[in-house]
C-alpha cells in the first residue's frame, strides 16, 4: 500500500482509441443531437441548383461561413428563388457528412431578411452608371471580325486563360494572344484589372481586349463590378469583351463592355474566325467563280454553235429578212410623214391665196367699190387733197370715168 503513494507515481488513465469512422460517428451523434431547430441569419453566397433538384449555398457574415442545403422535397415550400447577396433567415438542423467529415446546416425553411448589402450596393452602382449613359448601346464599339492581336486580362493560372488559349489555338493558330496577368479576386483585383486595360490602350498592344475570369461566388466576381474597372472599360479606345464566370453569372463589366461573352471560352470563339471556316469561305468563293466561268463558256459555246456552217445561211437569211422588214417599215413611215407634210403645206398655201384674193383691189371693185385718182395719178383718200376744177379719174370694175371736181365736201367725224 505504501508503494502506491511513493513520490513520482502517477496513475495511468485508460487509453481511448478510435478509428476515423468511429470518431466521426461519435461527433455526428453528438452534434446532430445537440444542434437542431436552429435559426440562423446570414447572406447567401455561391447558390446553385444541383441536377437532382437540391439547393446548395453558403450563409456568411463578416466573420464566418457555413455550408447549407435545402432538399428537393423542401424547395416548393420556400416560395422564392434565393440569389447571391440576399439576406435570409433559415431554420434547420446541423448535419455532419461522414465521408468528408464536414458539417452543414440542413434547412427546413427560409425567409427573406432583406437584400444583402453587397447586392444592394451593386444595384445602386448599376443605376448610377446607367443614368450616366455608360451602358448605352449607341456608344459601344464594334468587335473586329479578324483581329490580329488579342489582349487577355485574367489570372495566369486560372482555367479561363487555358480555355481561351485552347479555343483560339484550335480555331486560328496564327492569331497573336497577349497575356496580361492580373489578380481577379480580392481587394487588389480591381486596381490591377483597370491598370491592365489602361496599359493595353496606352501602348496599343491589341485590336481587342478580353477581360474576365472563371466562375465563382458572387463575392469572387465583385472586382469586375468595381467603379475603377467600369471607368477603365468605358474610356478604353480598344473594344472590350467582358467574360466573367459562367453563363448565369454577371458583373457590371458585362453592361459597360462593348460585348458580353457568357464564358471565357465563348469570348475565345467570338474574337477569332476558325481557319477551317476561312478555308470553307475560300472554297465557296472558288466554286462560285468556277460555276460563273463555266456558265459564260456554255453561253459562248451556244452562240458559236448557232453560227456554225449548218445554219449560218439560214441565220443570215433571217437577219436579212428582219433588216428588210425594218427598212420597209421605215420607208413607209417616212413616205406617210412626207405626204402629210406636203398636204399640210398645200392647204396652208390655198388659205393664203384666198386671203390675198379677198384683200386685192380687184376683189374690192368686184363688190361695187371704185378707186379715184387725183391729178397726180395717185389714189385719193382725202378730199382735202383736191379742189373744185381738178380733173380726176374714177376706176370701176369695168372701165374708167374722167371727171371734173365741182365741189369738195369734208365729212365731220
Q: Which of 66, 90, 115 is the last residue of a domain?
A: 115
Name which of 207, 206, 261, 202 is nearest 232 in CA terms. 202
Distance CA 117, CA 86 (A): 8
Distance CA 107, CA 88 (A): 12
Say whether both 189 and 49 belong to one domain: no
Angle, CA of 59, 223 and 42, to the nearest 5° = 15
> What is the pLDDT at residue 5?
45
Say whether both 257 and 169 belong to one domain: yes
| pLDDT above 70 coverage of the chain, percent | 88
- Enter the C-alpha cell of residue 314: 439560214
Domain membership flag for residue 52: yes
CATH classification at residue 162 = 3.40.50.10550
Say whether both 129 and 268 belong to one domain: yes
Among 55-64, 103-112, 133-142, 297-306, the least confident range = 297-306
CATH classification at residue 40 = 2.40.50.140
DSSP class of residue 47? E
Say whether both 170 and 238 belong to one domain: yes
Mean predicted confidence (pLDDT) in 14-36: 84
- Domains in the chain, number: 5
| 254 touches 260 (CB < 8 A) | yes
Domain membership flag for residue 1: no
> What is the pLDDT at residue 1?
44
> What is the pLDDT at residue 411?
65
Domain membership flag for residue 251: yes
Domain membership flag for residue 8: no
Count CB atoms within 10 A of the CB of residue 149.
16
Domain membership flag for residue 83: yes
Say whether both 85 and 99 belong to one domain: yes
* Backbone torsions φ then ψ of 57, nearest 5 degrees: -165, 180
Say whether both 236 and 139 belong to one domain: yes
Residue 65 lies in domain: 20-115
The residues, any chain, with a CB within 8 Å of residue 108's CB and separated by 6 or more, are 74, 91, 92, 93
> What is the pLDDT at residue 184?
94
Domain membership flag for residue 87: yes
Say whether both 236 and 103 belong to one domain: no
Say whether both 89 and 137 belong to one domain: no
Domain membership flag for residue 5: no
Q: Which of 65, 80, 115 is the last residue of a domain?
A: 115
Burial profile 182-199: b = 16 or more Cβ within 10 angstroms, e = fewer: bbbbeeebbbbbbebbee
Say whether both 252 and 340 belong to one domain: no
Angle, CA of 37, 39 and 41, to the nearest 5° = 155
Domain membership flag for residue 215: yes
Count CB atoms within 10 A of the CB of residue 63.
5
Stated as kind and residue range, the H or E segment containing 113 is strand 102-115
CA distances from 375 to 10, 106, 380, 386 (A): 192, 152, 10, 8
pLDDT digits (tens, 9 = 90+) for 272-290: 864 456 566 677 788 888 8
Distance CA 384, CA 75 (A): 137
The residues, any chain, with a CB within 8 Å of residue 226's CB and separated by 6 or more, are 190, 194
Q: Which of 92, 115, 138 is the last residue of a domain?
A: 115
pLDDT digits (tens, 9 = 90+) for 138-165: 999 999 888 999 999 999 999 999 999 9
Say whether both 328 and 233 belong to one domain: no
Say whether both 261 and 167 belong to one domain: yes
Say whether both 318 and 339 belong to one domain: yes
pLDDT digits (tens, 9 = 90+) for 214-231: 987 777 889 999 999 999
Amino acid at each position: 500500500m505504501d508503494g502506491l503513494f511513493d513520490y513520482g507515481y502517477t496513475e495511468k488513465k485508460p487509453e481511448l482509441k478510435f478509428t476515423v469512422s468511429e470518431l466521426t460517428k461519435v461527433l455526428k451523434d453528438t452534434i446532430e443531437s445537440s444542434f437542431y431547430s436552429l435559426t440562423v441569419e446570414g447572406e447567401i453566397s455561391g447558390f446553385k441548383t444541383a441536377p437532382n433538384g437540391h439547393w446548395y449555398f453558403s450563409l456568411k457574415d463578416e466573420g464566418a461561413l457555413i455550408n447549407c442545403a435545402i432538399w428537393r422535397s423542401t424547395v416548393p415550400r420556400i416560395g422564392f428563388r434565393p440569389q447571391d447577396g440576399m439576406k435570409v433567415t433559415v431554420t434547420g438542423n446541423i448535419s455532419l457528412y461522414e465521408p468528408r467529415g464536414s458539417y452543414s446546416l440542413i434547412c427546413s425553411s427560409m425567409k427573406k431578411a432583406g437584400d444583402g448589402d453587397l447586392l444592394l450596393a451593386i444595384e445602386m452602382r448599376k443605376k448610377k452608371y446607367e443614368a450616366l449613359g455608360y451602358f448605352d448601346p449607341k456608344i459601344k464599339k464594334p468587335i473586329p471580325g479578324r483581329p490580329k492581336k488579342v489582349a487577355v486580362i485574367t489570372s495566369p493560372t486560372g482555367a479561363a486563360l487555358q480555355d481561351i488559349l485552347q479555343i483560339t489555338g484550335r480555331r486560328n493558330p496564327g492569331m497573336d494572344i497577349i497575356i496580361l496577368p492580373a489578380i481577379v479576386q480580392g481587394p487588389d483585383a480591381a486596381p490591377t484589372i483597370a491598370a491592365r486595360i489602361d496599359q493595353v490602350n496606352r501602348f496599343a498592344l491589341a485590336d481587342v481586349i478580353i477581360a474576365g475570369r472563371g466562375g465563382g461566388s458572387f463575392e469572387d466576381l465583385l472586382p469586375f463590378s468595381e467603379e475603377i474597372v467600369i471607368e477603365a472599360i468605358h474610356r478604353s479606345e480598344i473594344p472590350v469583351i467582358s467574360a466573367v464566370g459562367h453563363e448565369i453569372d454577371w458583373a457590371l463589366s458585362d453592361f459597360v463592355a462593348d460585348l458580353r461573352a457568357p464564358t471565357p471560352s465563348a469570348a475565345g470563339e467570338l474574337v477569332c474566325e476558325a481557319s477551317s471556316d476561312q478555308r470553307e469561305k475560300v472554297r465557296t468563293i472558288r466554286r462560285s467563280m468556277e460555276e460563273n466561268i463555266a456558265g459564260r463558256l456554255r453561253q459562248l459555246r451556244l452562240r458559236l454553235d448557232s453560227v456554225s456552217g449548218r445554219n449560218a445561211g439560214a441565220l443570215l437569211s433571217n437577219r436579212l429578212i428582219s433588216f428588210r422588214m425594218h427598212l420597209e417599215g421605215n420607208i413607209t413611215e417616212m413616205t406617210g410623214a412626207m405626204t402629210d407634210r406636203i398636204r399640210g403645206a398645200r392647204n396652208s398655201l390655198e388659205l393664203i391665196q384666198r386671203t390675198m384674193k379677198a384683200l386685192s383691189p380687184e376683189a374690192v371693185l368686184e363688190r361695187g367699190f371704185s378707186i379715184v385718182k387725183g391729178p397726180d395719178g395717185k389714189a385719193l383718200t382725202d378730199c382735202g387733197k383736191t379742189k373744185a376744177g381738178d380733173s380726176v379719174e374714177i376706176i370701176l370694175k369695168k372701165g374708167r370715168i374722167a371727171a371734173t371736181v365741182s365741189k369738195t365736201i369734208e365729212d365731220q367725224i
